[in-house]
Homo-oligomer: A and B are copies of this chain.
Amino acid sequence: MNKIALEKISYGLYIISSFKEGRFNGQIANTVFQITSEPPRVAVSINKENLTHEFIESSGYFSVSVLKQETPFPFIGNFGFKSGRSIDKFNNCSYKVGKTGCPIVLENSIAFMEFKVIDKVDVGTHTIFIGEMQDGEILEEGEPLTYSYYKMVKKGKSPKSAPTYIKE
């Protein structure tokens, strides 16, 4: 069995955000996909140890910001490799509060959506949250950042600047 086969699955890159008791948090995720068109629903897989998981569990809502291809590395690093337990990720980041109460990252995003959690599945280390769409808009024209593009570009970086962002 060659697990590398799993790496041939294609993804985008997104910021998933939620809230709890007046606090906001968001994290990078690649595992977002639409599951039904009527009504519009998506699924997202979130690690149980992440603060965003706790916030989604608490509020019952999450937002998805679709990152654009040109998204700079430090921006991804801020949301992807740091914990909201030690920093406020929304400090110095352009965002708005959506209809659901979720923060929505606008910076480097070509579109956003908001979802109400209608079901969830325990799959071990992660929970799959099933969300029904409450709102969504296109923010600007442009290509979405794909996970393969991100990995390809990452390989081009020198190791010296990489340690902050590579956790594997």
Q: Which residue of B lies closest to A118 (CB)?
A: B123
Chain B CB count within 10 A is highest, among A31, A37, A135, for A37
A146 at the interface (CB under 8 A from B): yes
* A144 with B8: CB separation less than 8 A: yes
Contacts of A135 in B (CB 8 A): 1
State A166–B45 Cα separation when bound (angstroms).
Answer: 24
Residues A41 and B123 in contact in the complex (CB < 8 Å), given A10-B11, A12-B8, A34-B9: yes
Interface size on A, residues (CB 8 A): 55
Residues of A within 8 A of B (CB): 1-6, 8-12, 14, 30-43, 45, 66, 110-113, 119, 121, 123-126, 128, 130, 133-138, 144, 146-148, 162-166
Could you give 22 example pairs across A and B, Cβ below 8 Å? A4-B138, A5-B111, A5-B112, A5-B137, A6-B40, A6-B133, A8-B12, A9-B32, A9-B42, A9-B144, A10-B146, A11-B11, A30-B33, A34-B45, A35-B45, A35-B126, A37-B162, A37-B164, A41-B124, A43-B45, A121-B121, A123-B130
